[in-house]
Amino acid sequence: MFELTFLGTAAAVPAADRGLPALLVDHGPRRFLVDCGEGTQRQILASGVGFRRLDTILLTHGHADHVLGLPGLAATLAQWEATPHLTICGGPATLAVVRALLDGALHPYGDPGIEIRLQEIGPGVVWEDAELRVVAFPLQHTVADCLGFRFEDKGPKMRLDPARLDALRVPPGPMRALLAGGVGVDLPGGRRVEPEEVAAPSKPGPRVCVVGDTGPFAELVAEAAGADLLVCEATFLSGDAQRAALSGHLTAAQAAQLAVEARVEALWLTHISHRHRGPEVQAEARMVFPAARVASDFERVKVVGRKD
Ligand SMILES: [Zn+2]
Ligand SMILES: [Zn+2]
Per-residue three-class SS string for 161-178: CHHHHHHCCCCCCHHHHH
Domain architecture of the chain: domains with CATH: 2-155+203-303 (3.60.15.10), 162-198 (no CATH)
The catalytic position among 35, 55, 65, 240 is 65
Span from the CA of 27 to the centroid of ligand 2 (angstroms)? 26
CA–CA dist 134, 78 (Å, integer): 26
Task: Tell me the ligand closest to 9's alpha carbon.
Answer: 1
DSSP 250-275: -BHHHHHHHHHHTT-SEEEEE-B-TT
Question: Beta partners for 133?
Answer: 128, 152
Task: Tell me the ligand closest to 139's alpha carbon.
Answer: 2
DSSP 208-244: EEEE-S----TTHHHHHTT-SEEEEE--B-GGGHHHH
If 0-12 CB within 10 Å is exposed, 13-18 middle and 19+ buried, where does residue 85 land?
exposed
Span from the CA of 142 to the centroid of ligand 2 (angstroms)? 7
pTM to 2 decimals?
0.88
Rounded to 10 deg, the angle between the 70-79 and 92-105 helix axes is 60
Task: Tell me the ligand closest to 141's alpha carbon.
Answer: 2
pLDDT value of position 158 = 76
pLDDT value of position 308 = 52
Span from the CA of 234 to the centroid of ligand 1 (angstroms)? 10
CA–CA dist 67, 61 (Å, integer): 8
Span from the CA of 115 to the centroid of ligand 2 (angstroms)? 27
Residue 8 phi, psi (nearest 5) = -155, 125
Q: Under 8 Å CB-to-CB from 276, ≥6 apart: which residues?
A: 236, 237, 240
The question of whether 166 is a catalytic residue gets the answer: no
CA–CA dist 130, 307 (Å, integer): 23
Task: Tell me the ligand closest to 37's alpha carbon.
Answer: 1
Q: Kindly report the three-state secondary structure assignment for every residue of 77-118.
A: HHHCCCCCEEEEEECHHHHHHHHHHHHHHCHHHCCCCCEEEE
Tens-digit pLDDT profile for the chain (308 aa)?
999 999 999 999 999 999 999 999 999 999 999 999 999 999 999 999 999 899 999 999 999 999 999 999 999 999 888 888 999 999 999 999 999 999 998 877 778 888 999 999 999 999 999 899 999 999 999 999 999 999 999 887 778 999 999 999 999 999 999 998 889 999 998 999 999 899 987 778 999 999 999 999 999 999 999 999 999 999 999 999 999 999 999 999 999 999 999 999 999 999 999 999 999 999 999 999 999 999 999 999 999 976 55
Span from the CA of 61 to the centroid of ligand 2 (angstroms)? 7
CA–CA dist 128, 291 (Å, integer): 31
Span from the CA of 66 to the centroid of ligand 1 (angstroms)? 6
Span from the CA of 32 to the centroid of ligand 2 (angstroms)? 20
Q: Under 8 Å CB-to-CB from 230, ≥6 apart: which residues?
A: 208, 209, 211, 224, 258, 259, 262, 264, 266, 267, 268
Q: Under 8 Å CB-to-CB from 16, ≥6 apart: which residues?
A: none
Rounded to 10 deg, the angle between the 278-286 and 252-261 helix axes is 40
CA–CA dist 101, 96 (Å, integer): 9
